[in-house]
């Protein structure tokens, strides 16, 4: 049973099963009682789904009332029929809530190239509309994030939820926190975001104007969801949306950004550690780089290396695979192997080489649920170029899941 995590004030939800693929939860709507400031970031894939296109339109004015999510069918590469179906779903949700359909975003995740089973979708939505006509509060009576997080899952092994609190402006103490941030996410495969992440939705009752929220969200996502990679494959449906409805009043923006980062980082690590077939969370920290972009390239090269992933999976302290991955950044001519330091956890493995007698201890470290690979590039005079990437080991479980995904 998922731990109870109440949604922030002024948010309510609906969750259930349309029967998209089976009888598990596959549909949810999260709505704000009042217009909410919203920021959306989406995949850059040239095969982006129609849900992404519709949501881009909905968040273009930085305002939303609701997000509808369908799981187990991505509605990608489904042509005009797929887009018409998505817009019909949005219109029905808007009707149920009594809001403008232009203020409803949609996300969809699952198998590519298949139409929604619209007979089942229409039947479900008609029942929801009828229920809402009697009582919107009852039809959208879910006030806990658990059912929402469960309804957006596909091959995830567990729901992903994170939360934080912020003191309202002028309260002077975190102990009197009155504003909350609650985030949910899904994603375990087809993951190396090029904007945000698989699907993640973050809700807050803090009052923040769009011109302040937008840069905060982009900075946070760049250091969290854009730092995770499971398999180097960018999804066609990647969507990240943050909604702030202001029910708790204004907050200190710096404190809000810190809390939002904490929520996003928690979700990022959950995604990485729940990668398809994964058994180990890999954190790759690169510092002493020329700049952040260089540190990011090197960190991603390491975390994405199948040889590094399999070495971690086998608890094999083969630091040569890390050196190889760094060396792949061949356009970074200022990387000098003589200046580089490689560590597993706190243990330096290059250039100070470990005697064979200590390798068994290091192997035990690599058998942990979480492993840190720390690389200092040692570029002269450079101390500010840092970036941390998050990924997972590569197991036979990943192969089996994806070999049998549609069959």
The structure tokens listed for 80 are 């005009």
Catalytic, 171? Answer no
Query: In sequence order, what are the residues at sequence separation of 6 or more whose Cβ sits closer than 8 angstroms to the Cβ of residue 142?
Result: 7, 12, 13, 14, 15, 148
Under a CB-based contact definition with an 8 Å cutoff, are residues 192 and 304 in contact?
Answer: yes
For 69, phi then psi, to 5°, come to -130, 130
Which whole-number Å values give the CA distances from 11 to 36, 66, 98, 146, 158, in the listed order? 10, 9, 15, 14, 23
Q: Are strands 160-166 and 179-186 parallel, antiparallel or unpaired?
A: antiparallel
d(CA 182, CA 10): 12
Residue corresponding to tokens 């934080």: 164
d(CA 91, CA 73): 19
Under a CB-based contact definition with an 8 Å cutoff, are residues 12 and 33 in contact?
Answer: yes
Nearest to 259 by CA among 166, 332, 337: 166
Of 155, 197, 239, 280, the catalytic one is 197
Nearest to 244 by CA among 217, 279, 275, 270: 217
Burial class (CB in 10 A: 0-12, 13-18, 19+), 165: middle
For 101, phi then psi, to 5°, come to -65, -20
Phi-psi region of 392 (alpha: psi -120 to 50; beta: other; left: phi over 0): beta
Residue corresponding to tokens 């909410």: 36
Nearest to 322 by CA among 373, 275, 393, 372: 373
DSSP secondary structure string for all residues of 218-239: HHHHHHTGGGB-SSSPPPSS-E
**Residues recognised as catalytic:** 197
């Amino acid at each position: 049973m998922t731990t109870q995590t109440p949604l922030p004030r002024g948010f309510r939800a609906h969750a259930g099963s349309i029967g998209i693929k089976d009888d598990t939860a596959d549909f949810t709507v999260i709505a704000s009682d009042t217009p909410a400031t919203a920021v959306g970031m989406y995949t850059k894939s040239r095969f982006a789904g129609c849900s992404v296109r519709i949501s881009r339109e909905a968040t273009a004015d930085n305002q939303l009332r609701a997000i509808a999510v369908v799981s187990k069918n991505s509605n990608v590469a489904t042509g005009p029929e797929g887009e018409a179906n998505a817009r019909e779903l949005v219109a029905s949700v808007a009707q149920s809530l009594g809001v403008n359909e232009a203020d409803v975003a949609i996300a969809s995740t699952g198998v590519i190239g298949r139409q929604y089973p619209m007979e089942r979708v229409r039947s479900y939505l008609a029942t929801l509309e009828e229920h809402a006509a009697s009582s919107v509060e009852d039809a959208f009576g879910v006030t806990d994030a658990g059912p929402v997080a469960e309804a957006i899952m596909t091959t995830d092994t567990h729901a992903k939820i994170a939360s934080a609190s912020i003191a309202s402006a002028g309260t002077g103490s975190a102990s009197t926190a009155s504003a909350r941030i609650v985030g949910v996410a899904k994603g375990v495969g087809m993951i190396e975001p090029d904007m945000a992440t698989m699907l993640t939705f973050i809700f807050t009752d803090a009052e923040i104007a769009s011109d302040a929220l937008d840069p905060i969200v982009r900075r946070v996502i760049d250091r969290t969801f854009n730092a995770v990679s499971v398999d180097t494959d960018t999804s066609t449906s990647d969507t990240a949306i943050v909604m702030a409805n202001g029910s708790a009043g204004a907050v200190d923006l710096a404190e809000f950004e810190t809390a939002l980062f904490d929520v996003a980082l928690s979700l990022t690590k959950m995604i990485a550690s729940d990668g398809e077939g994964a058994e180990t969370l890999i954190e790759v920290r690169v510092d002493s780089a020329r700049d952040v972009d260089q540190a990011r390239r090197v960190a991603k090269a390491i975390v994405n290396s199948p040889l590094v992933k399999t070495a971690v999976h086998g608890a094999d302290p083969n630091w040569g695979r890390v050196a190889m991955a760094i060396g792949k950044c061949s356009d970074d001519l200022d990387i000098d192997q003589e200046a580089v330091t490689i560590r597993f956890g706190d243990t330096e493995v290059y250039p100070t080489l470990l005697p064979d007698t200590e390798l068994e201890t290091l192997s035990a470290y690599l058998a942990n649920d979480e492993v840190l690979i720390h690389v200092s590039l040692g570029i002269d005079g450079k101390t500010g170029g840092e970036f941390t990437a998050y990924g997972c080991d590569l197991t036979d479980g990943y192969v089996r899941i994806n070999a049998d995904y549609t069959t």
